[in-house]
Amino acid sequence: MTVNLLGLSRDVYKGLPTTLCAGCGHNSITNHLIKALYEYGVAPHLLAKMSGIGCSSKTPAYFVEQAHGFNGVHGRMPSAATGAKLANRELLVLGISGDGDTASIGLGQYAHMVRRNVDCVYIVENNGVYGLTKGQFSATADTGSTLKNGTPNEYSTIDICGLAIELGATFVARSFSGDGKQLVPLLQAAFAHRGTSILDIVSPCVTFNDHQGSTKSYAYVKDHEIAINAPDFIRPREEITVDYEPGTVQEITLEDGSRVMLRKVDRDYDATSRIGALSMIHETREKGEFVTGLLFADTGVPDLSEREKLVQKPLKDLKEDELRISRGDWDALFTS
């Protein structure tokens, strides 16, 4: 039987059968996640699967059934993820959200999670539409795209990646649900990154948003996606055997010593430049294109637990003698 670094089979990383529509992009993401978690060797008991409300937020039930899951309230997963990580900094907190959950009802919490640099992986399964309530626009719907009934979106769109970079995010990537080759290494790089890792994954809704007027349909995305870099993720415990051409590869070292290698496919792209990343997002958007890949990363920013100087031992495990004021200090409080 094939096993990973922890000696666990791939089946351990599977979950319950999906209840989403057949062909849903979210299911593809789930499968890539299973692969990424298995290959990376995430210990199931240290994985905390967090989500809000919506189609995307159901997906934590569909992978790593052994792990603890927390399906919270709409748009408020970032706060729950923050609390869970503070309580136990050993957890790999993996949040799965959607475009409605993140860009509309949860925009405030999303913004503040990013600016606190809470150490978590935050995936937005972005289809530009409200699926569960049967097809209303979300705030990531592109200006000019239409609903099934022909209603056009006249409002400006919220770019989840651009916003995150503006807010000080330390890891921002965009991918496409159908591109496992790009997505799996991006996910693994996100697991390794200490701080908030934003993954905006365009995930077509086959039921409500896969028609000609939508800019997030399979056909539209496949025609307009441009891959700026194809990162290969390498665990430090393995020999580096990636096939890359000198001079075309950019190396980013993550906090745990592991590294992401950026392969520049179409053009020379510097993922360490905040301004460059924003320019890229705006320029490609103007051309009606999606830029995918690791758009921005800064590995030198302390995460929330570091900023708060938390003890290494999980706060949840601290005992009376570590938390209470000593008897002597207590008596002094009332005699001064």
Partner 1 sequence: MQQRVTNDFTIRVATVNGSGSQSSNLVLTNAIFRLGIPVAPKNVFPSNIEGLPTWFDVRISSKGYQCRTRDVDLLVALNPATWRTDIAGVKAGGAVIYETSYPIAGESQRDDVTYYAVPFNELAKANFSDGALRKYLLNMIYVGVVGELLGISEEDVEAAIASQFKRKAKAAATNVEAARVGYTYARENLKKTDRFALERVTGKTDGLSFMDGNRAAALGCIMGGCTVAAWYPITPSSSLCENFIALADKYRVDAQTGERRVAIVQAEDELAAIGMVLGAGWAGARAMTSTSGPGISLMAEWAGYGYYAEVPAVIFDVQRAGPSTGLPTRTMQGDVSFAYTLSHGDTKHIVLLPATVQEAYTMAMDAFDLADRFQTPVFVLSDLDLGMNPWMTSALPYPRRPFDRGKVLREKDLNKLEKWGRYRDVDNDGVPYRTLPGTNHAKAGYFTRGTGHDEEARYSEMPDVWQRNLDRLVKKHETARTAVPQPLVEGHGNAIAILAYGTTHHAVIEARDILEHRGIETDYMRVRALPFSPDISAFVARHERVYVVEQNRDGQLFGLLRVELPDHLISRIHSIRHYNGVPIDAHAIVDPLLQAEREPAVIAE
- Residue 21 binds partner 1, judged by CB under 8 A: no
Looking at the Cβ atoms of 90 and 142, the one nearer to partner 1 is: 90
> How far from 46 is each of 88, 229, 256, 334, CA to CA, in Å?
9, 31, 17, 43
Question: 272 near 298, Cβ under 8 Å?
Answer: yes
Binder to partner 1 among 25, 54, 78, 100 (CB under 8 A)? Answer: 78
Give CA–CA dist 175/161, Å, rounded. 11
Q: Are strands 232-234 and 259-263 parallel, antiparallel or unpaired?
A: antiparallel
- Residue 87 binds partner 1, judged by CB under 8 A: yes
Query: Judged by CB under 8 A, which stretch of 200-208, 269-277, 293-301, 327-335 contacts partner 1?
Result: 327-335
- Residue 20 binds partner 1, judged by CB under 8 A: no
Binder to partner 1 among 5, 21, 65, 168 (CB under 8 A)? Answer: 65
| Binding to partner 1, residues 110-129 (CB under 8 A) | 111-112, 116
Give CA–CA dist 163/111, Å, rounded. 8
Minimum CB distance to partner 1, residue 196 (Å): 14
HSE on the CB side for 165, CA within 13 Å? 24
Minimum CB distance to partner 1, residue 223 (Å): 37
Token output for 316: 């949840």
Minimum CB distance to partner 1, residue 199 (Å): 20
Binder to partner 1 among 69, 135, 180, 302 (CB under 8 A)? Answer: 69
Phi, psi (degrees; rounded to nearest 5) at 251: -110, 130
- Residue 11 binds partner 1, judged by CB under 8 A: no
Query: Judged by CB under 8 A, which stretch of 149-157, 192-200, 275-283, 314-322 contacts partner 1?
Result: 314-322
Token output for 52: 């809000």
Tokens 């053009």 appear where? 267
Looking at the Cβ atoms of 210 and 303, the one nearer to partner 1 is: 303
| Binding to partner 1, residues 91-110 (CB under 8 A) | 91, 108-109
Binder to partner 1 among 70, 104, 142, 226 (CB under 8 A)? Answer: 70
- Residue 287 binds partner 1, judged by CB under 8 A: no
Residue 218 backbone zone (phi > 0: left; psi -120 to 50: alpha; other: beta) = alpha
Binder to partner 1 among 20, 42, 67, 254 (CB under 8 A)? Answer: 67
Tokens 């008991």 appear where? 45
Binder to partner 1 among 10, 14, 76, 235 (CB under 8 A)? Answer: 76
What number of other Cβ atoms are within 10 A of residue 58's Cβ? 20
- Residue 315 binds partner 1, judged by CB under 8 A: yes
Binder to partner 1 among 10, 21, 41, 83 (CB under 8 A)? Answer: 83
Contacts of 251 (CB under 8 A, 6+ apart): 259, 260, 261, 262
Tokens 């790089």 appear where? 189
Binder to partner 1 among 71, 146, 272, 273 (CB under 8 A)? Answer: 71
Query: Judged by CB under 8 A, which stretch of 40-48, 123-131, 179-187, 230-238 contacts partner 1?
Result: 40-48
- Residue 239 binds partner 1, judged by CB under 8 A: no
Give CA–CA dist 86/198, Å, rounded. 19
Binder to partner 1 among 20, 81, 121, 280 (CB under 8 A)? Answer: 81
The pairs formed by 300-306 with CB atoms below 8 angstroms and a separation of 24 or more are 301/117, 301/168, 301/170, 301/195, 302/117, 303/117, 303/118, 303/119, 303/194, 303/195, 303/196, 304/82, 304/85, 304/86, 304/116, 304/117, 304/118, 304/119, 305/85, 305/86, 305/89, 305/119, 306/194
Residues that bind partner 1 (CB under 8 A): 43-46, 48, 50, 60-61, 64-73, 76-88, 90-91, 108-109, 111-112, 116, 304-305, 308-312, 314-318, 320, 322-325, 327, 329-331, 334
